[in-house]
Structure 1
Amino acid sequence: MRKGIRIEEVERILSNIVWAGMNANVYMIVGFPTETEAEALYSFSKVKEFVDKGLIRSC
């Protein structure tokens, strides 16, 4: 999906949410019709990275 937001913006927003004392939850669409396997793996790796950094509490 082309949502018009960069991954750097997502990380900054998640950091601000954590800084404010709130929890972030992530919901993903897997198998979007135009999504490639490489794109799906990249998305999963970014979510794991954000979980490891403590930016996402559940997904």
Structure 2
Amino acid sequence: MKQDLEALFLQLVQRRSVVSSAGEIEIIDFIEEYLRSWDYFLEHPGDLVRVPTENDP
């Protein structure tokens, strides 16, 4: 588990995720894809919702 968390951490910090940038969208896409690979969300895909916010790129 610790190695999995370390690997995830490294993947997250390698992405430039400045607010209102293409990187912000990239990190959101990465996190969504990561969560969708979990068994729970494979069984309940409707429980993971991406909510757009006003003035978001």
Structure 1 and Structure 2 fold alike (TM over 0.5): no
Greater gyration radius:
2
Which category describes the TM-score, using the shorter chain as reference length? 0.3 to 0.5
Per the normalisation by structure 2, the TM-score is: 0.36
